[in-house]
Structure 1
Amino acid sequence: MKTMNYIKIGIASSILSIAAGCTSFLEEELKSSLAPDNTYTSSLGFEVGSTGLYAIARSEYNTWGESGAFMHNGACAYEVLQISTDLCRMGTVRDGSLVPFAEMTLNPSTLFVGSYWNWAFNLIGSANELLIYSEKNDNWDYPTDKQLYQAEARFFRAYAYRTLVYLYGDVPWVETIQKPFLLSFSRDPKIEVLGNIIKDLEFAKTYLPDNPDNVKEGKLTTWAARHLLSEMYLLRGAEGDYKLAEENAQDVIDCPYYSLVKSRYGNAKNDPGDYFSDMFVENNQNRSAGNTESIWVMQFQYNTVGGGTNSDDWTRRAWNPQYHAIDGFALADSLGGRGLAQIYPLKWWIGVKGTNATTTGETIKDVDEMGNMLSSSPISPDGIFEDGDIRNSEYNIKRNWYYNNPLTPNKLGQKCPIDDKSWSQAQLFPALKKFFFGKEENLQLTGAYKDRMKFRLAETYLLLAEAYLRQDMPDKAADAVNEVRRRAKVSDVSDEEMTMDFLLDERIRELYGEESRRFTLVRTGKLLERVRKYNPEARDLIQDFHVLWPIPQAIRDANVGNFPQNPGYEGYEG
């Protein structure tokens, strides 16, 4: 796509020029005939620009770059939002890009600390440019086009700022292209940035399309904006915000277009499986496949123009075990393809049922608000799942592994036990089949080319429950959570049991590996407490200031004004 030439040039500019959306650098080096001045002159041109915004948003998952995509320049960038939480720990493949986040040694020059900032401001700068040119253009195919493309741009600007405030706190709010180029940015208070995010999303929810069946797959609707609005009102937490979070989540739930998936559908509906596993089968993520739960789906489809590449979405590579390193196994798409287990699930929640693994050294430790140890208890074999929970079925968490290599006939078809050794070496453990992906013609694929459900209705119910808890309505929170639990075929939670910790456990049961777990724990104020309680790798390393990442050193070096570092990182010298 020609617009990607423009995106690459923006990335090559200094990081602060991306933040400012400065075009003077671009005009000097532009290699394509497609530029803002001759593109943003018609509805078609704005559709090209909109497509570019979706591409940059998808590149949140990109690793080493391919086909002109934005690059994190390191493996599994998205997994740093999972590691050192209550969900997972680093595997034995100690990828250098993940180690600082596992060992809590991240600093202002750490790779992903800079690349997430760069990614977000790249998306912000591109959205700002579309917005500015939309005010200049008067050549629209339909009277509603201007507001439609502005709504998409403002959604993506809000989406990028969402990441920034979760990771860095106070950040510059930029909504224009700076001419002349500005080198004296300041950090705007997080609460003010959140106010601007909410304004953008309120505009987006008003002017984005209503009917998801009338837009192309992967395109935004008002319901995606309302889902994200609910989360942002929860994050801001000002007076009246929890009620507004409730209302936006309820709007999505009550609309006629979405419902929880409760029956088999799609490509594999006649194969062994269940309706929960169906949502994660390749090509089953979009509405056209019968998925009534997906609100926003990022498009990574295999061998499709505008789809995924080997450098996109390495979630499978990060989460799936290195079973192929064990004598008796061969790579197979049915076993998830080639996994490297750069991270793997903690035993406290996934349990050890059906394995020979023990809980030695991994008891659950309870702490008080100051981090003092109160008591410890052994890990349940079932983890946090009830018997019969569909999300814990063999179709969703693979606990039974059988040798499959015909070159070792003495083992073929026999069960390979999971034990402490295979688990600690990240070669075999209960695996999340959500991220299984393989192609028989190329089992060495690194990227997972499945479309990715970014927002789905089950999470909307859990956001609604969070809003009710914040309003001290545990009975209504329980009602919302029980809609999700009944779909999973487990017992209702009572009003008395309905706490924030129960909700966080439920989010693991439903959304393990899908959500940005770090964001959830930061929003609920539970990051430090739950890491110290549940994560044996990080509990003694995490400090209070680790709730935020440092400001990238390149940003502070390029800024001539007062651009303070986050507490805890001030003494670093790059």
Structure 2
Amino acid sequence: MKKIKYIAISALLAFCSCSDFLDEELKSSLAPENTYTNTHGFEVGVTGLYEYARSEFNTWGGEFNGFSHGQATPVEVFQIGTDIMFTNTDPLLVSFGNLSYTPLSHYVNSWWKFGYGLASNANLILEYSEHADVDWDNPTDKAGFQAEARFFRAYAYRYLVYLYGDIPWVDKVERDFRVDFTRTPKAEVLNHMIEDLKFAAGNLPEDPDAVLPGRLTKWAALHLLSEVYLMAGMNAEAEDAARQVIDSHKFELMKDRFGTHTKEPGDVFSDMFKENNQNRNTAGNKETIWVMQLEYNVVGGGGESEDWALRAYNPSYFSIDGFTIADSLGGRGVAQLIPFPWWIDKNSGFYEAEDIRNSDYNIKRNWYYNDPRSEKYGQKAEITEELWKAKKLYPAITKFFYGVQDKGGDEGYGGCTKDRIKFRLSETYLLLAEALMNQGRTDEAAEAINEVRLRAKASKITGAQVTKDFLADERIRELIGEEMRRFTLCRLGLLKERVLRYNTDAAPRWNDKHWLWPIPQDVINSNTGSAFPQNPGWD
């Protein structure tokens, strides 16, 4: 949502870990009792939830961030140690890439804090919304704000359940210092999340054209509900939730070029990720269901520390003699994530020849020396195994390229500050396919997958081809860099199998304990009033 009110974060509470992961730090006169008294106050607070949620991308902070991981590439940690990416650069990421992380590792702690911080702030809004003396502008305001808060609470627990398994379910504001939390079974937490999302779906706006860019609708809640049902093994319910989104006809797979860059070379898939093309209201992108607002240089948008996907996914080509940093080559990539050749190499056969997701507009495989001072200027640079392993040159996903024309011409700018798609209809089709596959209805699952493949100009598949492996592959082709890869493989039950098959860095260290992250050691140490066991294998 553009024009995020910075005051919103001051109205929220800040939380840390375990005995203090639910303790509060009130911010000046904007304490909740002074803010949550009328519709405007709740608008401020709920806007703060959007700010906090998008801080999942935040690296080094910033003046108005709801949360900061305090390190580079926080969401990219879910791409390594899987089947698609490796890393040989940032020491913090290396430990997750080769599975040497521990209960003391930074991201093990920061993602716990992120999840409980967001959930706790949602709980605060839910509590104060029940006060009898709130001055609501409209009769529907209370349920509407509660719907947004309950969506974000479920969204927060999504991270916590995927990463840590059984975790405390906390649905109220904890004002007393506690050291006696216990772990709630994962199945019970998922049931609470389902109830939250059902409420959200029933009380969020239905018309995506009638809300501000980035604001939640019923359909975002149903999309996430479909995934949570899959997490819970409730496949018929997951099918129903996904079908509601698809059958609403509020959204459509984009099949013709659109947006602000149609006069430039490209295709409809690359248009999806060009700057200023993410929102339906402004760019006509009717495929996107929910978009986090990170646009550069607008009030409430993103800053240089917000999203470092650009640095993470793009090679450090400029370290090769004959190259210089250029926006057209993806800016200043530093290659924290390096793709395994098995799926992206031009000779791998992973993509069909006509699949536009494999076009030059979507995967950059042809690199030409661009430094006019060099004798090599204009010549093609060959991608060698040595350059690939050294993170200097390899095929790059162009989803995270960006334009710098509005950034003062700074082609070394580090952020990827364009709006970030969180949910889009192509993934809804793939969630539907997963639900159908799990019910043994593979012919119908193939039909859902084919909706996505036909837009990409890939051939149709049959029900006999539908397997968990095929679906995992198709999600790479469609959603690489958008999905949290670790989450997908855990949900499909494929993490171990595909790490051992494809990840030469992680395979030697694989242990079944790696299905879950460890509970942060600080959480266990400080919870002295009740047993809080570590995840199996991490003691």
TM-score per shorter chain, which class? Answer: over 0.9
Structure 1 position 80 matched with structure 2 position 80: no
- The answer as to 2:302 corresponding to 1:300 is no
What letter corresponds to residue 57 of structure 2 in structure 1? Y
Shift of 1:138: 3.0
Does the alignment pair 1:215 with 2:211?
yes
SS at match of 1:540: helix
- Letter aligned with residue 426 of structure 2: A
Percent of aligned pairs sharing the same letter: 54
CA contact (8 A) 1:18 1:122 kept: no
Alignment partner, residue 284 of structure 2: 290
Q: Describe how 1:376-525 pairs up with structure 2 within 5 A.
A: 381-408=347-374, 410-440=375-405, 441-525=409-493
Per the normalisation by structure 1, the TM-score is: 0.90
**Would you say the 8 A contact 1:338–1:438 is kept in 2?**
no
Once the two structures are superposed, residues 498-522 of structure 1 have per-residue CA deviations (whole angstroms, 9 ceiling, x without a partner) of 1111111000000011100000000
Cα displacement (A) at 1:281: 0.2
Deviations 1:106-153 (Å, cap 9, x if unpaired)? 111100000000001000110000000000043111100000000000
Runs (4 or more) in structure 1 with deviation over 4 Å come to none
1:295 alignment partner, SS class: strand
> What is aligned with 2:17?
15
TM-score by length of 2: 0.96
CA distance in structure 2 between the aligned counterparts of 1:18 and 1:163, rounded to whole angstroms: 19
Q: Does 2:527 match 1:562? A: no
Displacement of 1:438 after TM fit? 4.4
Work out the CA distance in 2 between the residues paired with 1:513 and 1:45.
36
Secondary structure of the structure 1 residue equivalent to 2:465:
coil
Partner of 1:142: 138
Corresponding residue of 1:364:
none
Aligned residues: 527
Alpha-carbon separation, structure 1, partners of 2:502 and 2:95: 19
- Residue by residue over 1:183-212, the C-alpha shift from the partner in whole angstroms, topping out at 9 and shown as x without a partner, is 200000000000000000000000000001
Equivalent residue number for residue 251 of structure 1? 244
SS at match of 2:289: strand
Superposed CA offset, 1:334-368 (max 9, x none): 111110001111111112x2xxxxxxxxxxxxxxx
Q: CA deviation at 1:316?
A: 1.1
Aligned to 1:104: 99
Q: What SS does the aligned partner of 1:98 have?
A: helix
The amino acid that maps onto 1:10 is: A
**Equivalence for 2:3:** none
Cα distance between partner residues in 1 of 2:509 and 2:335:
22
Indicate how the Cα distance of structure 1 residues 220 and 18 shifts in structure 2: closer, same or farther if over 3 A, else same: farther
Unaligned runs of 5+ in 2: 1-5
Whole-angstrom distance in 2 between the partners of 1:104 and 1:5: 37
Alignment-derived partner of residue 369 in structure 1 = none
Q: Structure 1: how far apart are the matches of 2:349 and 2:135? A: 59
How far, CA to CA, are the matches of 2:20 and 2:364 in structure 1? 43
Task: Report how far residue 426 of structure 1 moved.
Answer: 0.8
Report the AA paired with residue 248 of structure 2. C
Contact 1:18 1:125 in 2 (8 A): no
- 1:337 corresponds, among 331, 334, 351, to 331
1:17, CA displacement in angstroms?
5.4
Q: Deviations over 1:279-323 (max 9, x none)?
A: 000000000201010000000001011110111111111110001
Q: Name the residue aligned to 2:157.
A: 161
Match of 1:3 among 4, 8, 11: 8
The answer to whether the Cα contact below 8 Å between 1:278 and 1:284 also exists between their aligned partners in 2 is yes
- Hey, what's the Cα distance between the residues in 2 that align with 1:3 and 1:220? 17
Q: CA deviation at 1:41?
A: 0.6
Shift of 1:542: 1.5
Tell me the SS of whatever aligns to 1:296: strand
Match of 1:539 among 507, 519, 522: 507
In the alignment, residue 293 of structure 2 is paired with which amino acid?
A: Q
